Structure 1
Amino acid sequence: MIDFKKFVKYSKSGPRYTSYPTAIEFHQDFNATTLKDSLARNDSLARTQRLPLSLYVHLPFCRSACYFCGCNVIYTSKEDKKDRYIAYLKKELKLLKDSMDTQREVIQFHFGGGTPTFFDAAQLDMVMGLIKETFPHFAPDAEVSCEIDPRHFQYEQMEVLKRNGFNRLSFGVQDFDPQVQTAIHRIQPFESVQKAIGLAREFGIPSVNFDLIYGLPFQDKQTFDTTLKKVMTLSPDRLAIFNYAHVPWLKKTMRKIDETTLPTPDKKLAILEHTIAFLATQGYAMIGMDHFAKKTDELYLASQKGELRRNFQGYTTRGFSQTIGIGLTSIGEGRDYYTQNYKDMQSYESALDAGVLPVERGVRLSDEDILRKEVIMGLMNNLKLEFAPIEERFGIDFKEYFKTELASLGEYIEADLVLVDNKGIYTTPTGGMLIRNIAMAFDAYLTKLPTDQHKFSKTV
């Protein structure tokens, strides 16, 4: 059982560890030339060890702003902007084909945004044609997914997705309460979501995810319970339920939210506690951080085997793969690097017009980074860490090498949140809720950051 009274006292700012080093360590010395070298180096690794590809394509446009959103988006209603963007995706794909082995197997593909379904059926089909022309070898069991805004989802788009092998759809729901929807500028009646889910089921999509957010204006346990009960009538296979991070100093649209309407920390905790208990009664298991899945879903089955992996797209069951980020602001990941494209459209286009990969920043990982990444991501993935695989891969005595870090976990050990023995690190149910705090003990960069700067959201 999770002890929420014990849990709440450990709230502090900390990374969500979709990467290590985290994105604030990316720098502009990592440029297009650095990326080409990194791509070649990872191609060489792929010839001696299994290193499949994942592809992430960012489609950045939205018709209007959702005030809670922390994504990199461009608001527009102009059709020509989407066609122009596709032309530049084509240029980027040509440069990637010239810079790496695009014949390697693709095991994961994801359309993110923005609003991918703001692109019409013909445009989506055109993008997929360009992708498959460049990366022709999709694995038969590849995970092919798309983020869906139910307000912009038509039968013709579903036809295109199905024809191109999509087998996972993630629907942005957030909350069904009309007052909450008005406050976050996202009016989305239950019926529109029901219709969109009906399309997915009609076309035989085997895995449907809903994104929900708690901590939004006017939410409390009762209103969120109503949303959860409506969600259950649509029976999603997975749920991602995120704690709203209010960071108006980073996202201007969040300044439109009246902060006096946000639930207090106590109310947020009550929502979370109720959500976990309610979903357990409905047959959903908590997976890693923020995620829930039916016990028939492969995400749950992978979690039971300790085979989950976390990246910028969330949890995957496909193991490690080299991620190629395509499009504005996209992030890529290799064995020893991270890279991010320009966030500004003019800079993105200018680089491609010059025949240069549109890299704004990134980081080359040192051997120490690679070791600590393995530790931190291992904890984030499975809420525990076995020492033996780390010791064998890196040739270290884990408890000796990380004796300072393990000692810093003392308060969590004393509070029965974490167990450390000669074999590994294991969290209790309550400790698992604090996995970000625990992973922070192994982050070599945190001590270099000023403590008074707004860098991360709260861990609780």
Structure 2
Amino acid sequence: MSNTSLTNVDFDPALIARHDRSGPRYTSYPTADRFIEGNIAPIFLEALQSRQVERPDADLSLYVHLPFCDTVCYYCACNKVATKDRSRADTYLDYLAREIWLVRKQFANTPRVSQLHLGGGTPTFLTNEQLERLMGLLKASFAFASDAECSVEIDPRRLNEGTLALLAHHGFNRMSIGVQDLDPEVQKAVNRIQPAEITEEVMAEGRKLGYRSINIDLIYGLPKQSVETMRATLGTVLTWRPDRIALYSYAHLPDRFMPQRRIESDDLPLPAQKLAMLKLAVTSLLAAGYVYIGMDHFALPEDDLAKALVDRTLQRNFQGYATQADCDLIALGVSAISRIGNVYAQNHRVLEEYYAALDRQILPLVKGLTMTMDDLIRRAAIHDLLCQSEIIVPVFESQWGVEFARYFAPELEQLESLAEDGLLEISSDRIFITPKGRFLARIVAMRFDRYLREAQTIARYSKVI
């Protein structure tokens, strides 16, 4: 497949409506709902020690979860703590310091970091002094590459004067700004009042400070939304020309996420209206020159994400699509998920339990999983489909030492119906997701998920579209 064909996409509403169903987002495989509760800490520590022997000079990726928000957005499904008390972040940093020390002492030499992401919650809930302390803790234990990709999630409503400059001083060069929707009635319905002028000012400041990639998050399917409100929101956002746009589908799961119970179900758009909003958004973004990266991500052609797609170096991790080569991830903070080699390990999701573990001077890990060889093979297949829209069979067989047609015989049989519908093309040496099937890549990837095939469903997933 040519590099240019990677960016081709054909939005087919009827096909999407026919195949839309619930499924994982595959920020990991196996997905986090497959993790097993138990004593994962010894396994995780063993993986760290193996890393010391097998790849001591390999770069690390760091993720820090900062859970605090001073207001609750009703649509949100993140692990967060609602409070207006900034001193709670001081306590949290005390415990982060303990966790960082417990991790750092596993390394003989200072590990080098090529990626850092601050997520939440609302990272900018922290005061400038607290952010300065956090960066001091990280830089005392890790060596950051001069070209490290450092990104932060920004809430323009909760941004202290000088915060962006402080972060830029510490090497931050990417930001993601939550917008969701600009219509006042929609904002009121989801409890996120955010005038467009505030977002525009933050973007302008970020560009002036040298942030080289600015992402805007949008959501379709929110209460009070319509094609008309979506058109108005897109019209404004496109004048800002963000480097990236993440266009998420709202998943209404009030039995799982308590804040969503404040959303009136009658205010939600019907499925046909939601699909029409998606069609409008996709058409508008493509017409404005954005490249469809995959799933819910768009980027300008000159952005690193679009370049990674064309260069076939695109990756996928817990933050979504990424540009750098796959590397081990150390994740810090409540609910954060690390991956070292073939081991996933997740921290306690409840703040008090996270603190209690660190009071005992042990890593605050509660569950995880050691990937089997089958998991690794399927993870690679899913990655290729979601990042490159194809599996090149001879290359895959050479990398993994399997006979593809025999190993994936049940999957290939299940793929036939998708091929008949035009989502993909199958030959002896390639599985290729067509431009018409790219918006349904998760549906194709799900065929390679052994846990789903064997009906080992644990979680309730969101709809693909």
Are positions 1:228 and 2:210 aligned together?
Answer: no
Q: CA deviation at 1:30?
A: 4.3
Q: SS of the counterpart of 1:455?
A: coil
Please, which of 60, 64, 83 is the counterpart of residue 67 of structure 2? Answer: 60
Are positions 1:8 and 2:17 aligned together?
Answer: yes
Residue type at the aligned position of 1:173: V
Please, which of 122, 128, 132 is the counterpart of residue 121 of structure 1? Answer: 128
Of residues 228-237 and 102-111 in structure 1, the stretch that sits farther from structure 2 once superposed is 102-111
Per-residue CA deviations over 1:345-375 (Å, capped at 9, x if unaligned) read 1111111111100001111111111111111
Whole-Å separation in 1 of the counterparts to 2:330 and 2:116: 10
For 1:102-141, list aligned pairs within 5 A.
103-136=110-143, 138-141=144-147
What residue ranges of structure 1 are gaps of 5+ in the alignment?
none
Whole-Å separation in 1 of the counterparts to 2:39 and 2:210: 43
Are positions 1:158 and 2:167 aligned together?
Answer: no
Distance change (3 Å), C-alpha of 1:334 and 1:386:
farther
| Identity over aligned pairs, percent | 40
Of residues 194-203 and 79-88 in structure 1, the stretch that sits farther from structure 2 once superposed is 194-203
Partner of 1:459: 464
Partner of 1:429: 435
Partner of 2:177: 171
Task: Indicate conservation of the 8 Å contact 2:385/2:433, yes or no.
Answer: no
Whole-Å separation in 1 of the counterparts to 2:440 and 2:306: 20
Q: CA deviation at 1:126?
A: 0.8
RMSD of aligned alpha carbons? 1.4
Please, which of 330, 342, 365 is the counterpart of residue 359 of structure 1? Answer: 365
Whole-Å separation in 2 of the counterparts to 1:204 and 1:141: 14
Partner of 1:440: 446
Please, which of 217, 226, 234 is the counterpart of residue 211 of structure 1? Answer: 217
Distance change (3 Å), C-alpha of 1:365 and 1:450:
closer
Per-residue CA deviations over 1:306-343 (Å, capped at 9, x if unaligned) read 21111111111101010101011111112201111011
TM-score by length of 1: 0.96
Of residues 198-207 and 320-329 in structure 1, the stretch that sits farther from structure 2 once superposed is 198-207
Per-residue CA deviations over 1:158-212 (Å, capped at 9, x if unaligned) read 1210110000010001000000000000000111111211211221211100000
Partner of 2:207: 201
Whole-Å separation in 2 of the counterparts to 1:126 and 1:14: 39
Distance change (3 Å), C-alpha of 1:376 and 1:265:
same
Partner of 1:22: 31
Residue type at the aligned position of 1:457: S
Distance change (3 Å), C-alpha of 1:422 and 1:448:
closer
Whole-Å separation in 2 of the counterparts to 1:221 and 1:103: 52
Q: CA deviation at 1:281?
A: 1.4
Task: Indicate conservation of the 8 Å contact 2:67/2:334, yes or no.
Answer: yes
Please, which of 185, 189, 193 is the counterpart of residue 183 of structure 1? Answer: 189
What residue ranges of structure 2 are gaps of 5+ in the alignment?
1-9
Partner of 2:303: 297
TM-score by length of 2: 0.95
Q: CA deviation at 1:155?
A: 3.1
Residue type at the aligned position of 1:188: Q
Are positions 1:329 and 2:335 aligned together?
Answer: yes
Partner of 2:6: none
Task: Indicate conservation of the 8 Å contact 2:176/2:215, yes or no.
Answer: yes
Residue type at the aligned position of 1:66: C
Q: SS of the counterpart of 1:357?
A: coil
Task: Indicate conservation of the 8 Å contact 2:343/2:369, yes or no.
Answer: yes
Task: Indicate conservation of the 8 Å contact 1:209/1:237, yes or no.
Answer: yes
Of residues 73-82 and 394-403 in structure 1, the stretch that sits farther from structure 2 once superposed is 394-403
Task: Indicate conservation of the 8 Å contact 2:61/2:329, yes or no.
Answer: yes
Per-residue CA deviations over 1:40-82 (Å, capped at 9, x if unaligned) read 12333314xx742100000000001100000000011112211
Partner of 1:75: 82
Residue type at the aligned position of 1:245: A
Partner of 1:87: 94
Per-residue CA deviations over 1:383-430 (Å, capped at 9, x if unaligned) read 222223321121112122112211110111111210111222111122
Task: Indicate conservation of the 8 Å contact 2:111/2:142, yes or no.
Answer: yes
